[in-house]
Amino acid sequence: MAAWLRAHRPEVQWWCPQLPPSPREAMGLVLGGIRDWPAESSAVLGSSLGGFYATAVAQATGWPGVVMNPAVDPARDLAAHIGEQTAFHDPAERFYFRAEFVDELRLLHAGPLAHPGRLLAVVAQGDELLDWREMAARYAGASVRVIPGSDHALSDFDAHLPLILDFLQLTQGPPCD
């Protein structure tokens, strides 16, 4: 996504911070970082746990959002993973997931979707970590694209990029003066 934006829409501000393991700190970082962003031209995008966070940000701001294989109930799913963990995207990266992070996740759950029409959920049936049916049900009322096959990392992301760009209205160029 970042590479496409750099090549095709360099005027779009892209921010993808490395989030800390604490959900409270992660949301504080994100909400603090976007505090002054213009609501009429901003959007949020996230995958897996980032999809859970993106949903919370979209609910808090009213922004459109795209979630890809989003975690639906990470407090439930991650409660069994207290202790030292490796990062999904980089097995050499290690972090400690503390028990209190489960409670922080519970507090961040966005509840029923206030504006489901502002969300696109890209859900892979082949996700090896999360149940695609639960993801699709959580985003009922949103634009949901269920992908046959694929995987948790959406290794075929480029095939879904046109859908995402279209949803975020990024396929047209910047306005002309």
CATH (domain of 95): 3.40.50.1820
pLDDT score, position 93: 86
| Residue 16: inside a domain | no
Taking the C-alpha atoms of residue 162 and residue 111, their distance in angstroms, rounded to an integer, is 29
In this structure, is residue 5 part of a structural domain?
Answer: no
Report if residue 77 sits inside a domain. Answer: yes
Tell me what the pLDDT averaged over the chain comes to.
92
* Of 90, 145, 104, 121, the residue nearest 22 (C-alpha): 104
Predicted local distance difference test score (pLDDT) of residue 156: 95
Q: Residue 157 sits in which domain range?
A: 21-167
56-60, 89-93, 130-134: least confidently modelled range = 89-93
Q: What's the pLDDT score for residue 115?
A: 92
What's residue 177's pLDDT?
Answer: 36
Say how many domains are in the chain: 1
Residue 126 is given by DSSP the state: T
Structure tokens given for 154: 């959406």
90 within domain boundaries: yes
Q: What is the pLDDT of residue 172?
A: 63
Tell me if 176 is assigned to some domain. Answer: no
Any domain includes 84: yes
Does the global pTM surpass 0.85? yes
Residue 120 lies in a domain: yes
Give the three-class secondary structure for 118: helix
Residue 164 dihedral angles phi and psi, to the nearest 5°: -65, -45
**Which comes out higher in pLDDT, residue 33 or 110?**
33
Statement: residue 158 has pLDDT above 50: yes
Is residue 67 within 8 Å of residue 54, measured between CB atoms? yes
Q: What is the distance, to the nearest Å, from the Cα of residue 82 to the centroid of all Cα atoms in its chain? A: 22
63 with 43: CB under 8 angstroms?
yes
**Burial label, 37 (beta-carbon count in 10 A; 0-12, 13-18, 19+):** middle
User: Over 70: is that where the pLDDT of 174 sits?
Assistant: no
Q: Report the length, in residues, of the chain.
A: 177
Residue 175 belongs to some domain of the structure: no
Write the burial class of residue 127 (CB in 10 Å: 0-12 exposed, 13-18 middle, 19+ buried): buried
According to DSSP, the residues that pair with 65 across neighbouring strands are: 44, 119
